[in-house]
Chains A and B, each alone.
Chain A
Amino acid sequence: MGLGQDPFNPTRTHPLSPTAAGLDFPSSGAEANLSSLRARVVGIDPDGGRPMTDQDRASLGDPFFDLVLARERFPRTATELIAVLNESNGAPEGVPEQMVFVVAEAGQIPFNNSSAMLPRGVRYVVTRGRPANGPTVLISTRPPADDPTAFLQVAGWDGRNKVFHFYERAGSAWLWEGSSLHAFDPAARGKGPFDSHVNGTLVMKELRLPWLHWNSTAQEIPIESFPPNHPLRTDPLFAARESADILERRVVRPAIQRWTRARLDRQLGDPDGVAAPRELLRHLLATTSINIVTSEERSRGSKPTFGLPATFFFDVESIVNQLGLEISGLGQSFQVGRPDYESAVAALGLALKHLASGFKQDGDASFAWLVPERALEDCVVVGELTRRGILSFGFALALLMVDAWNPIDSAARASLLNYVPAGRTQAARIEAETRKNINNAAAHLPPEAPESIAATYLALDESALRARAGAELDAFVAKVRARLMTSQGVLDFMRLADWRRRAFRKRRIAEFDLSLPFSNINENAPPLALTKDGEVVER
């Protein structure tokens, strides 16, 4: 195990390997005077990191660096870190406002004999900021907060450079692991903190109501989920936990917006043009990351019907919320009968499992129909690009309507990325070049090819496209609604949900067995897709 490896959260940490690095970082005690800050951007820097240069240090303008590391303070635990931050509470640059949020995949599973050995997977997010400005320091750790073996990671918003910086403690050293910009550096992409912070901003997988797995107004993480005498029961951070709706509204959504704007200001403001247009349009055409969402109803409730998440069926966030296409009566469109739902759960043998401990709880998660959805960070980029006029409404909608019935992981839509200019292009030319490339390709392809479908939509003026897209989505919704009224239809959609869950598990952002229910379907079963007619088919 490397330095900084958390034995309870090995997937959370990116440990130093002292042997590989030829370094000898202390983990505690007498060698603590060797504490330091090093740079280790995974994929770019040596495994053991490298000394920070003056230039590196000058590039760090976030409060965590300014108030802690720049003052040669190297806290080993969250408790120590909070204490160091508290020292500046009265200063103009201080970040006195603190909020604590708690997430635990097993935090809502009752403690009893069958779950006694189940690791609860509790993590804290502690935010610090100035009143009215929102949090600018985000600390992630696990309880107990004074445990020096617990992972300890920090994201700090650098208001000067308009980026997040990502830090991690390893032993008694602190590592600067890069900024938001490294998320798009081919050498660092998907590595280190960017395996989950895929687009360089904050991540809250269960972003929306009911914020499954988080302590929230919808469902608390009760103290009774933990064994008697568990240290968490007296942990002041746990006692101070706030609801996840605050994390969503006051922390994560603003952070995604803030970083997206800063990123686009930077990329679109380059007088030499956009260096990598495909990096931008990936957010329109591909699935760079994932949120997970559920129905807003309990899986073991008594309501005879309840609504499924609309984003399971099509990209409501991009098409409706960001682009503003009106689809009438969407709220009541995806109702499912509880008997059909329960039959499908039973048929697929849904169960929550923790493989290492052997824990198994039959049934769905506490809220029904837990599925991956398109990440908000993708949708926000789509919205910003259209509001800035880089993409027209018609262009964005036309491409989103290609295979619209598969909002995530659509190979058809992703294939259109090939027509986006690969090299540096003036921002104002990106759409025109892409249009031209798609139209040229479509001329030689059959009508069912994604290029041909896209070209058909692109040929319409905005008003006609709006009408056609609206009509097609209305028709699709009606067909789905009809299928949801049949047992077989519900079972088919449940199989599709399961396929999407299996695909999610292959992403690096999927860290915990208990994030999603398992089924009796083979992990390697063929992928599934939804058709325009609301049918579930093998891809």
Chain B
Amino acid sequence: MALQRFDPPGFVDDFGAAQRDAWHQFISDAMDFAHDGTVGDPFDSPRAQFFNAAKVESASDTGFEDVKWTAFPRIVQISSGSDVERWRNSDASRDVQDEYCEWSVTRQSGTNKITRVTFTCEGPEYWRFLAATDPEKTLALYKQHVEASVTHGDLFSPSGTYIPRNRFNNSTANGAMHLVQRNNTLSAEIEIAGAATITRLRPDGTPMVDSLELIQCGRYGAAQRHSDPFIGARVNFHARNKADVTVANPVGIYFGGLDTQEWETPDGSDPAGFWKYTRGTPQRPVRAVLEVPSDRGYVLGDVLIDGHNIQFGGQIADRIQMTIRALATRIGQSTATPVHGCAGDSAGPAGGAGAGGPLSVSAVLSAGGRRGRL
């Protein structure tokens, strides 16, 4: 039996019934879109081994793989010469936090010590839709998770349009409610998974297996990140194994955990207890806060990692794992033939967006003028 409904990321419970239906439809459309690929490009369409789990049943051999990567942005890492340089660079702007994890740092006035770091991996599509369909809920969540003083005017334009990069979600200092880095989208996640299901052959007839050659040939994601090439490589591995592949429900990016080994606290307590998931389920967390309880007499900046005081959110991001869950089924049964060529080798018309319904996430997002395939 096919999946009844795509749930919101992390099974968060912000939606009413109509919103849930619309969200399901949005993800379902995105799945269909990712399956179709770039219509007209024989090297990128269709993606026969990618499937919409709400329309195609999974088989009894279904297996899951949690694809994991480090939250610290690789692009910052390879362009920085020392630890402090890369930590500082990663804390400089949300625009460089491109591993589907963004953070904001709160500091103590006077000492400038870090007191709290908030991490999010919630896609912007979800929030734009929520804000468009339930502004009051959106405001309440900002008040709950970011800052109690947030007002409607902080989040919405005079015409009532949600501002994703509002002043409580556009920096590394004033809060992080959801992802805003331009490549950190759920749509990107689904598109990468879809595009990576095409098995490709080199000119000599051997299969492409390397993450870099796959992402360059498939033209999905950003090759310099930890996440995109690796997600693609793992999905493609299952595709080469002649499985049908999709992203498991609920589609989203998740925290895979924080490693606090060799952290030192002034009172010897276990810093793992300072790490709290504040949205999503414990198994599928989408928001996390690291903060020392107020009764301890010290703050996060007094905690040491490898002997260094925590001075940057990037030091923590070094220790965070991100994950998405891939689903493979009908293993060994696919009859899709490998492709001799790369996406874009044959120029063709771009695909269109899915149709809307009574309440449509795509329509809502399009109304906001967002560029993209969904």
Residues of A whose CB lies within 8 Å of any CB of B are 108, 110, 112, 132-134, 209, 217-220, 222-225, 242-243, 245-246, 249-250, 253-254, 257-258, 296-298, 301, 307, 310, 316, 320-321, 324, 326-327, 329-333, 380, 383-384, 387
Contacts and interface: CB of A to CB of B under 8 A. Distances in A.
Nearest to A311: B81
B85 interface: yes
B14 interface: no
Contacts of A132: 260, 272
A245 B73 CA distance: 13
Given A249-B318, A257-B306, 15 more contacts: A217-B69, A218-B211, A220-B233, A224-B240, A243-B68, A253-B306, A254-B262, A257-B262, A298-B212, A307-B78, A307-B79, A320-B83, A330-B80, A383-B306, A384-B307
B81 A223 contact: no
Interface in B206-253: 206-207, 209-212, 226-227, 229-230, 233, 237, 240
Interface string B191-218: 0000000000000001101111000000
Interface in B299-332: 306-307, 318-319, 321
Contact of B229 (A217, A258, A320, A332): A217
Contact of B262 (A243, A258, A332, A383): A258
A245 B226 contact: yes
B335 interface: no
B79 A246 contact: no
Interface in B80-103: 80-86, 89
Given A245-B69, A250-B261, A222 B80 contact: no
A234 to B, nearest CB: 11
15 contacts: A112-B206, A217-B69, A220-B237, A222-B209, A222-B237, A223-B237, A243-B69, A249-B70, A296-B77, A316-B82, A327-B82, A329-B81, A331-B82, A384-B307, A387-B307
A297 B77 CA distance: 12
8 closest Cβ pairs, A-B complex: A330-B81, A222-B209, A254-B261, A217-B230, A331-B81, A331-B80, A320-B82, A296-B78
B344 to A, nearest CB: 16
A259 to B, nearest CB: 10
Contacts of A253: 262, 306
Given A110-B206, A320-B82, A134 B230 contact: no
B74 interface: yes
Contacts of B233: 220
Interface string B106-125: 00000000000000000000
Contacts of B260: 132
Interface residues of B, number: 38
B259 A134 contact: yes
Among B79, B240, B307, the most chain A Cβ lie within 10 Å of the Cβ of B307
A220 B210 contact: yes
A333 B81 contact: yes
Nearest to B230: A217
B23 to A, nearest CB: 30
B209 A332 contact: no
Contacts of B80: 330-331
B34 to A, nearest CB: 22
Given A134-B261, A243-B68, A327 B81 contact: yes
B211 A220 contact: yes
A245 B209 CA distance: 20
A243 B323 CA distance: 12
A320 B272 CA distance: 28
Among B260, B272, B306, the most chain A Cβ lie within 10 Å of the Cβ of B306
B147 to A, nearest CB: 31
A310 B81 contact: yes
Contacts of A108: 210
Contact of B307 (A224, A245, A383): A383
